Chain A
Amino acid sequence: MDRTARMSEKYISRSPAIAARRLGDEMLIMSAADSTLFSLNPVATCIWQAADGRTPLSQIVERHVCTEFEIDPEEAYRDAAGFVEELAQHGILRISDDPEPEGPAAGEMP
């Protein structure tokens, strides 16, 4: 993947202000902010679960999406960036230009 083409890395973390549970191979997430319910497909679930605030989005896509789902890296990154933006708008994911400090990741799944 050509990382130089991007302005900067994105770091994503799960907001604690959500309710979430795995249902089969999908993830159900409800936003506390607006009570919107989301059902994430297996690819989106992979990104969601890897959102620890410390791993760059590009690495999450490379490690978890491209390898497991055999998707073109550039296309996968574009889709992932759009997906995380949408979830961030609903207060479900947090996006930062910098990694979070070491410690327990927010919104850790049981």
Chain B
Amino acid sequence: MSLMQEMNARALSLGVPLSAHVDLTYRCNERCEHCYLDHDDKGEMSTAEIRELLEEMAEAGVLFLTLSGGEPLLRRDCFEIIGHARSLLFHVKLKTNGVLIREQEAARLRALGLEQIQISVYSHRPEIHDAITKLPGSLQRTLAAIRFLQSQGLKVTVANVLMRGNLRDSEAVQKLATGMGARYALDPTITPMMSGDRSVLRLRIPAKDLSDVFRNPALVGDAEEFCAPPAPVDERMMEGIPCSAGHTACYISPYGDLFPCVQFPLPCGNVRREKFLDIWRDSPQLAEVRSIRGKNLPTCSSCAHLGSCTRCPGLAYMEGNMRGPSSADCEKSFVRTGVVTAGMKARGLSDLAILVQIQTQPLAAAV
């Protein structure tokens, strides 16, 4: 067990929220076609409120802090907030599109002791990237920001969200990132909007293309291991928790609403009305999330993928039941291994009929 795993296990046993994601604003200077947010300001927390929240979170034991948005640098107090977080000894990761970062801002972020910056790049081609962000010139500005940040010695991760419109560009984006000295992270997950609108899901890449991604060693490493059939379900998997959401991690919106995760819109309280730690300890919603074990999942507990599926309880919640399957993760598990999931079986043959066309051989073998 690595030290990080030991630390997470210890935080879990002590009920400590080791990591938190705070969106400083939902406003943004880009209009990415897959974004799950609306970009109006419905009354963001003030600087003083955020400073107080950070102090409460430090007191509660949060070490890993992600600051994001919207575009967090649209807030004039963003640097002040980062500075306050660093003075409280948080490990701070900033998620930004980089458009507002030039040499001076990069130097300032370096001086504040920011640990990590994640920047989304959708394509190496401006016509593709800018069409997704709907901001002309955005790729050029984003790449310039990465270079400014790298020149300051900051650790940059290029996040590459894969969609129908850019899925052929992943390897080129990876080369671009590594060529600039940045890390590369691939993400094929498209999330329904916080409002429940699922229309953005049309942008998800088709299963056939997802299969190609999962079998590309340049993107996933050891493809054979990555796509191996699931290990037999055991007691540990049945007693396991789905993920860290609500257990050692949480999300706070620009309006102070606390959720188990940025991808899990179950309201658990508001830090403007209650102390962070009171919500963390006493929220009935968080208690419900924490009560769920593998064996409590009505469909997934009988699934061969229980121990290896990336089942997101937040996506399942958005489909109507936090204990239910997440269809996107069912699809990933199936495409990765060729083994049909319990969720697919439960939904009936209509899903399978679609998937048979793209994975005839493994599906036939599995059925």
Using a CB–CB cutoff of 8 Å, the interface residues on chain A facing chain B are 16-24, 26, 28, 30, 32, 35, 37-39, 107, 109-110
Contact = CB atoms under 8 A, between A and B. Distances in A.
Contacts of B62: 21
* Interface bin, chain B: 20 to 34
Chain A interface, >50% SS class: strand
A107 B16 CA distance: 22
Interface of B: 3-4, 6-7, 10-11, 14, 16, 18, 55, 58-59, 61-64, 86, 88-92, 113, 115, 155
Nearest to A38: B3
Contacts of B16: 23
A90 to B, nearest CB: 13
B7 A110 contact: no
Given A37-B3, A110-B55, A110-B88, A22 B113 contact: no
Nearest to B14: A24
A28 to B, nearest CB: 6
12 contacts: A18-B89, A19-B63, A19-B91, A19-B92, A23-B7, A23-B11, A23-B18, A30-B91, A37-B4, A37-B7, A38-B3, A39-B7
A16 to B, nearest CB: 7
B6 A17 contact: no
A16 B86 CA distance: 9
Contact of A23 (B14, B91, B92): B14
B61 A110 contact: no
Contact of B61 (A18, A23, A30, A35): A23
Given A28-B63, A32-B113, A110-B55, A19 B89 contact: yes
Nearest to B90: A19
Contacts of B91: 19, 30
B63 A39 contact: no
A110 B3 contact: no
B63 A21 contact: yes
